[in-house]
Amino acid sequence: MRPPLRLRLHRGTTAHVASLYPFSVQGTLGYRGPYIGVDLLAGGAEFCWDPFESYAAGAVTNPNCWILGEPGNGKSALVKSLLWRMAAVYGTGTGGRWIAIADPKGEYAPLAELLGLHVVRLEPGGTTRVNPLADGPGADDEPDDRRTLRCAEMVTALVATVLDRPLTQLEDAAIYATVEHLGRTPATPTLTDLAALLTDPPAEVIRTLRRPTAEVLPELTALTYAVDKLLSRSLRGMFDGPSTVPPRWNGPGIVLDLSAIPIDSDALPLVMVAAAGWLSQLMVGPGPRRIQVLDEAWALLGNRHTARYLQSCFKLGRTYGVANICIAHRPSDLGAQADDGTSTAKIAGGLLADAATKILLRQAPDQLESATTRFGLTDPERQIVGQLTRGRALWKVAGRTAVVHHMLGRADAALCDTDARMAGNTAPQPVAA
């Protein structure tokens, strides 16, 4: 009787074993970019990601990204460790990654300290101001028309949000003409200057509107009251004058600490628009690749005007080399929250389409239908999103899907801890630099 054939056990990497069993595991996205964790759909292979590396490799068509997940499932830890590791791989500032963060919860201070980011804390009635109409370092490289349009869009979003209605044609034209007029003056314009000109429009603005002065002034009454409300209440002491803390343009980046504004207040969307408007000055000039993090980005999706402004930030991502990373809790946050729901929902849907990378952490059962619709999830992906444990996320990078377990080191754990107070530990934790 012929003895049976016996072969020794063979061990190999997933790349080699996949050639024998090609449909059992998928390949990885590659090794370029900071290490995130392990891809459970690729046999536990390493998962690395960087928005610019993915774009350079042709894996995505834009560097924008959405991160959604229930509180306590690791959104902040993922973003902080990603920025920390980007700095380690590419460096910061010139030649590396320039980081700008709008921080409504004031939780990026430890990261800012480690990376040397300039922290600007804004609070109503405070003494620290930033001027969203001031020219940034790239003013000489940006066409005047584009700069005027960018500032006018920001002001329009602010005023329309206060009025809670679309602007009339005359109001919209008046804002653009006033911003354009201020851009020709030698002094640096502020929102206060804008309010003064809307109250008493100069002859040049009146000529642009092609209406007699006696007809224009009554039409602008609501506009002037809205701007006054912005300066006297919603943005008071934060965006209503010249900048008092000039940023270090050539530094590693900046954090706008907005934690003094209540998360659920009507002022937060306005502050977020003004903050994004000021940060956009830093994004338009030549320089290193830039990362803009907008935490609690749902605040910009409450109405059509602020959502449209966020859309303009996304559209300019490729033009200026900016990767927008937006963070929210639930897929339903990306839908309409205001009375003009239909248009807002369409803009929110466009924002998803303009983000080639979507990261979904665990979602509650009542959010799975919305997640499936907005992210185009398959039935297995939908089941995965509802069962993800803390630290795991479903990544959709262009047409590819990965289930990634985020790995934290000791330095990351101390840097990303947001449960210190819940655990009764209020002492500062050391972080290895």
* Pair (92, 44) in one structural domain: no
Residue 140's pLDDT is 67
163 domain-assigned: yes
pLDDT at 431 over 70: no
* Pair (38, 108) in one structural domain: no
Residue 414's pLDDT is 72
Q: How many domains does the chain have?
A: 2
11 domain-assigned: no
Q: DSSP readout, 107-136?
A: --HHHHHHHTPEEEE--TT-S----TTS--
Residue 223's pLDDT is 92
* Pair (46, 148) in one structural domain: no
233 domain-assigned: yes
Q: How confident is the model at residue 249 (pLDDT cuts 50, 70, 90)?
A: low
- Residue for token pair 């956009």: 280
| 326 and 36 Cβ atoms separated by less than 8 Å | no
**What domain range is 45 assigned to?**
27-61
- What's the rounded mean pLDDT across residues 143-162? 86
* Pair (126, 183) in one structural domain: yes
* Pair (221, 184) in one structural domain: yes
| 198 and 218 Cβ atoms separated by less than 8 Å | no
Give the C-alpha separation, 257 to 254, whole Å. Answer: 10
pLDDT at 420 over 70: no
393 domain-assigned: no
pLDDT in tens, 1-19: 666 767 677 777 766 666 6
368 domain-assigned: no
* Pair (220, 162) in one structural domain: yes
Give the C-alpha separation, 121 to 109, whole Å. Answer: 10
Whole-model pTM: value is: 0.83
* Pair (195, 101) in one structural domain: yes
* Pair (182, 49) in one structural domain: no
* Pair (115, 40) in one structural domain: no
69 domain-assigned: no
- 238 vs 28 pLDDT, higher one: 238
415 domain-assigned: no
Residue 15's pLDDT is 62
Burial (CB < 10 A; 0-12, 13-18, 19+), residue 60, is buried
277 domain-assigned: yes
Structure tokens given for 29: 């996205």
